[in-house]
Every structure is written in C-alpha cells, then in structure tokens.
Structure 1
Amino acid sequence: MSAKAAPGVDAGPVEWRAPDDPVLSWDGVAELERTAEGLLPRRIPAGRLATALSPGFTAKAAMPAGVRFGVRTDAVELALRLNATGDAAPLDVRVDGALVRRAALSGACEVVVPLGPPAGPDGPREVEVWLPHLGSTRVSEVGFRGHRVLLPAVRPGPRWVTYGSSLTHSMFAAGPSETWAALTAARRGWRLHNLGFAAEAHLDPVVARTIRDLPADLVSVELGINVYLRESFSPRSWGPAVCGFVETVRDGHPDLPLAVVTPLASPTRENVPNKVGLTLRQVREGTVAAVRVLEGLGDRNLHIVDGLSVLPVDEAGEHLADGLHPTAEGEHVLAARIGPALEGLLRPVAP
C-alpha cells in the first residue's frame, strides 16, 4: 500500500534512514542497542539488566512500552522496516496527535502508512510512531516519500518517569498510544518514560538506579500488586524495601514531586492472605506507612495516590478485564483519574 501524490507533485522514491539517524527524535528510551535484526530500543541500560537475576524481568525490559520516535515532515508516505516477535502488540502511527494507523506486526515486516498530501501553509505535520508495548520489536529502517521537510520532533514538555507492574505496562490497552500512561502524557505534553514491567515490579535496585539517573521533572511509582501475587516481600520486609527504593531515586532527584500509587482494587484479593501472610489491603497500608516514615525524615515532595480512589472495588467489574487488569476502555478511565492527580503535583516549568 502506498500514498498517492497530490496533483502535480512527484512523490519520488522512498528515502530510507537508519533508525538512529538524528532526524528521528526518540523518546522513552535509555539506549538503542544494535542487533542483527535492527535497533532494539531499551528502557533500561542493557549492561545492568543482569543485576535483576531474572529472565522474566530481562524479557519484559526488552518490550518497548511507551517508546516512540517523532519527526516533523511534509512527507506523503511513511515506511517502516521492522522485526517483531509473534506476540507483539500493534504499532501506532499518529499525525498531529490523531491516530492514522494501527498495524499488526509479526516477524520481519514492512509497514507503509499514507500520510496524505503535503502540508499546506501551516507547515509540516508531526508524525509519531509508537512501538508495540508488548513483545519485542527491532527497527531496521525508516523511510519517507514525497517530502521537502524532515526535522526532529520538538518536545519541550516536562519529563515524566513512571514505574510499575502490568497495570503500568497496560496489558489490555487497544494500542501503545492508548495506555493510561501514554494518554496521560499526550494530553499534557509530557515526555513519558514508561518503566512498567508486567509481573516484574519487585523494587529491583536496577530500576531505582535507572530512575535516579534519568532526567525527570516528575516521577510516579505504582507499587504492590506484584509483591502480593508473587509473595516477593513479607510483612517485615515490604516497608523497608519501599523506603530503600524511594531513597535511591531521591539520590538523583532530591526535590522533584514523587507520587506513590498504591494498588488498584482487586476484589478477590483485598482481604485474602497470600503465602507470606499479606493481604492486598495490608500491602497498601504498608506502602502508606513507608511514605509517612520518609515524610517524617524530611521528604517534603512525596505524595500518595490511593489506588482505591483511582479504581474502587465497586467499579472493578466495570473497568477490569479479569479482576486485575484494566480493559481498553479502563485505560482511559485510569488516565482521566490519575492524570489530574499527577498534574497537580508538577511544578510549573520556568520558560
């Protein structure tokens, strides 16, 4: 499939660019790793992944949740050469914020996206490609046809780093640009770095160190549900682990707003002890207790976002797909509720 050129305009051949070309403005990545199948965008530096001692974490960290690149162009056609695992989510292409293509990917593939006739007097459009948030995707080449302008996207907004479980990874989102985190960032012009790792949010030091070292204006951490499900912390160890994780982040960001999001409702787990004796309610209570301790030690910009206020128990049947994960529509509900809570914490950025 290819775009039709506007009358009197010769679209010409596709001009191919390497995925690390400076004209492609990447966001949400720690590094681009070169592989035989193309560049793999990584949300966490590859050299530190081994410290988690978890193949599951390593696999989830290779999934480009929240990763995208953008250009300003008057091209009539965009072409992508990719290599995706069979379980990859779709890829999204947005033009000036509007979704113009959602493409399923599998294996080595080429996706061609008509962008319409060249831009008029208002200038080039912003084209943004969101890589699949599930599965692993490598980018080989990015092509443009019929363009006179090709510039990096301009992203002046505040940088937001968010960490969490599958609730932040967003397993049932309709596409990568419609996770609650992506929606929250897009509506406010924030630069998202998503560190959601399905089933793998266990306060790994490598994640805390990564957040510590990333540029950020706002940090949020969604904590607790994986700890309850996988029994990775006990009533004795959970609170201190929360304190240690937050304090590591604070080593790099001592003053910026940091929000701790407690678990959303999960009706069948609220008051059922797991194998180490924790109920989901107790996980929330322990998280709040840890935050209060840090506040007492002088942390004046640490904030609780109550998961039960975001998604109460009596709404779980309406917004959760399986009693745990938000539906595609539920992602929009979360964005509408968490976004304002986070926005209220972000200080105005000086011009």
Structure 2
Amino acid sequence: MHTTPLTPELLRGALDWENTAHGLLPHRLPARARTQCADPQLAMAESQPSGVRLVFRTRATTVELDTLPTKRVYVGVPPRPDGVYDLLVDGRLTGSGRVEGGNTLTIDMTTGSFEHRAGPVGTLRFTGLPDTVKDVEIWLPHNETTELVALRTDAPVEPVADRGRKVWLHHGSSISHGSDAASPTTTWPALAAAQGGVELINLGLGGSALLDPFTARTLRDTPADLISVKLGINLVNADLMRLRAFGPAVHGFLDTVRDGHPNTPLLVVSPILCPIHEDTPGPSAPDFSSLQEGRLRFRAAGDPAETAGGKLTLNVIRKELARIVRERAAEDRNLHYLDGRDLYGEADSAELPLPDDLHPDAAAHRRMGERFAARAFAPGGLFADGAV
C-alpha cells in the first residue's frame, strides 16, 4: 500500500487547517477569525467539516483513511449514530462508511457543560473501486470534528487540478451546516451544489450565524463566484439582538462582503419556516420534558408581546431583510433576496415537520436542496449566467 502525506493540496471546502499531534485538522474559519471569539459552540461548529472533502486522482482499487473523529454525546438522549463518510468516484456516489472509536464530547443541555474524553484513531476502508484512473472524493462527516491521520492506497495518488467550475460560497446556521441530514453529500447545500455543478464552500455554522464581523471578513476574503448568506434563525435562537441593532448589522455585514466582492452575485436568504419562532421571540430552550422521554426538542422561551419592544421573530426578520435588500438593490443589481419559506414553508411543515422543532430532517434537506438549485442555478435562476 502507498501512504500519501495528507496535505492541504488534497482538501476542498476548508479555509484553513491545523497540524495536530495526530495529523491534519481542517477548519472552516481562518485562524484570525477563530481567535476573535472564544465561544465553544462556534469552535465546535467551524471544526466540523461540513462540505470538506479529500479530492485526489488515482488508479487505486482500495482506499484506507485513518481519522480521529470527535463525537457528540448528549446527556439523557439516545446515542447519535457515528458520522458518515461519503465516497464519490468521478462525481458519482459509490459508497459510504463510518469510523469507530474517536474522542467524545459529552454535552449536558441542562447545565450547558462540556466534557471531552480522548479516544483511539479509527480506519475507513473502501475496496473494489474501478481499476481505472479516476477522481476520488471522500466527503468528511458534516457533524464530527475530524482529524485526518493517514491515507493509504494500492496505487499512487496525485492532487486534482482546478476543474474550472464556479465556486459557491454559502453561509448560514445549523440548517446549512447540515443538522439532521443523512450524510455529508445530502445536506441541502451539498445537494444544491451537485445539481448546480459548482464547487461548494460551506460556512454553515451551527448556532453561529450571528452577523459576526469576523465571519463577514472571512466571506470578503474568500475567492468566490457566487455568494449566499442565510440569516436570521440563530439571532432568534440566542435572543442576541433587537430590531434597532439588526438592520444596521445586516447593512454592515453586506458592506464588508461587498468590500471584497463588489460585483459578485450575492443572495440573501431569510429563514425557512419554523413554527415555534414565527411570531414568538427567543431564546430557544431545550424542552426538558422531551429529554426525560429520551429525545431532544426545543421550545420558544420568549413572549410574543415582547416584539413591541424590538425583540426579533422570524416574521420580523423576513420583513426587515426584504426591505434592506430591496433598498440596496436599487444600486446593487447583483444583490438578490430569497424568502426561506420558498425552500421550506407551511405545506412542507405539514408533510415533513421539524423533528426537534428547529431542524429539517433528511427528506426536507433533499427538498430544500432541489428547490434552491432550481431557484439559483437553473436557467433564469438568480445565479444563472447573465442573471443580474
């Protein structure tokens, strides 16, 4: 077997990487951004490699990848399944696998505490690949921090040159991150990118789409042909901001992105339907009665009457985002708005309700990916050639 050094040249979808005691740890935010916020939720989210994949060309029929995953365990909730690795050969899904072992991060939702325990490196193995020169992609688990330890193949490996496809840079919340999707290639952004024929950089950051300036600067400084930002739900979840601050913060976020991408098509997407927060402010809180039943659900802990004092709901946010984009678009012909309920709305909620009252399930991710691709990448779509 050939052992190939794991280097950044083999990575797609990561904006930074870290050499650890075990190997290579991909990051989705650059080091400067990471140093500007000590929030453990953000640190966990950005190190989970949603949209990150190893890409190489080889004639190998057997591929082995050693990794050290970090798996989340929620106190009082049944164990989550191990993260999924998807194998694509020449762009086609060919296999999937999981890695046993790894570190564990135990989270107590009742206290907000975290406990980290070290565990062993595990091995992912794919066999029976075609005995031809081919492009191989291994998509890393979207919901497990993953240190890459060793890559072994039964034929040499080389990096894949730029395929000339447009780069789509997307930022959003845990829904964009892929929470409750079945696998890394079936998060809604990954599905939409595949249908649109674009290279995805996914900055969906669970719990962390909070209009942070360092995130805006990351978008500003990342080369991209198409950019979308899905804003709103995390601001309600965290009860972080009032209406007075929200509008100027959105303007500032978009101004920063435009500093680096003055003419790039830029799409602002408002929240999908989330019944608990349509007209009720945050914060979101765990439903402890559901924890006692061994499942995790959320509730809206705010009071609808508080919107009069400037608290944010999803309907308030959608109205404000639509106004901001409409006014800015008078001078920015490459700025667009998409109501998130066009991706998942009331009819979808009746058919495919949010299992935990916040996050879409695997079937809803597929529907959202198809709808986004149709609205953004199809002929005449917001990101189609010639669209302004």
Q: Does TM, normalized by the shorter one, top 0.5?
A: yes
Shift of 1:148: 6.2
Answer yes or no: is the 8 Å Cα contact 1:92–1:175 preserved in 2: yes
Answer yes or no: is the 8 Å Cα contact 1:72–1:153 preserved in 2: no
> Residue in 2 aligned with 1:129?
138
One of 96, 111, 124 as aligned partner of 1:111: 124
Q: Distance in 2 between matches of 1:153 and 1:325?
A: 36
Structure 2: gaps (5+ residues) = 73-81, 103-120, 283-301, 303-309
Shift of 1:322: 2.7
Normalising by structure 1, report the TM-score: 0.88
> Residue in 1 aligned with 2:233?
225
Q: Return the letter of the residue paired with 2:382.
A: L
Answer yes or no: is the 8 Å Cα contact 2:16–2:29 preserved in 1: yes
One of 337, 344, 350 as aligned partner of 1:317: 350
Q: Return the letter of the residue paired with 1:225.
A: I
> Residue in 2 aligned with 1:192?
200
Q: Distance in 1 between matches of 2:124 and 2:85?
A: 10
- Give matches, 1:90-239, under 5 Å: 90-105=84-99, 106-107=101-102, 108-119=121-132, 124-145=133-154, 147=155, 150-152=158-160, 154-239=162-247
CA RMSD in angstroms, aligned pairs only: 1.8
Q: Distance in 1 between matches of 2:181 and 2:150?
A: 26
- Give matches, 1:234-245, under 5 Å: 234-245=242-253
Alpha-carbon displacement from aligned partner over 1:46-68 (angstroms, at most 9, x marks no partner): 23212134221122111111001
2:69 matched to 1:61? no
Sequence identity (%):
37
2:365 matched to 1:328? no
Q: Distance in 2 between matches of 1:46 and 1:92?
A: 27
One of 340, 346, 350 as aligned partner of 1:307: 340
Q: Return the letter of the residue paired with 1:181.
A: P
Q: Return the letter of the residue paired with 2:332.
A: D
Compared CA separation, residues 212 and 149, structure 1 to 2 (3 A): closer
Alpha-carbon displacement from aligned partner over 1:167-200 (angstroms, at most 9, x marks no partner): 1011111111111111111222211000011111
Deviates more, 1:335-344 or 1:255-264: 335-344
Shift of 1:133: 0.7
- Give matches, 1:289-308, under 5 Å: 289-296=323-330, 298-308=331-341
Shift of 1:155: 2.4
> Residue in 1 aligned with 2:382?
345
Deviates more, 1:332-341 or 1:157-166: 332-341
2:318 matched to 1:284? yes
Deviates more, 1:50-59 or 1:299-308: 50-59
Q: Distance in 1 between matches of 2:342 and 2:140?
A: 31
Normalising by structure 2, report the TM-score: 0.80
Q: Distance in 2 between matches of 1:157 and 1:308?
A: 29
Shift of 1:342: 1.7
One of 20, 30, 37 as aligned partner of 1:45: 30
Q: Return the letter of the residue paired with 2:124.
A: V
> Residue in 2 aligned with 1:8?
none
How many positions carry a matched residue from both structures? 328
One of 38, 56, 78 as aligned partner of 1:71: 56
Q: Return the letter of the residue paired with 1:111.
A: L
Shift of 1:225: 0.6
Answer yes or no: is the 8 Å Cα contact 2:195–2:370 preserved in 1: no
Q: Distance in 2 between matches of 1:321 and 1:223?
A: 21
Q: Distance in 2 between matches of 1:219 and 1:30?
A: 15
One of 50, 65, 68 as aligned partner of 1:80: 65
Shift of 1:291: 1.6
Name the SS for the 1:237 alignment partner.
helix
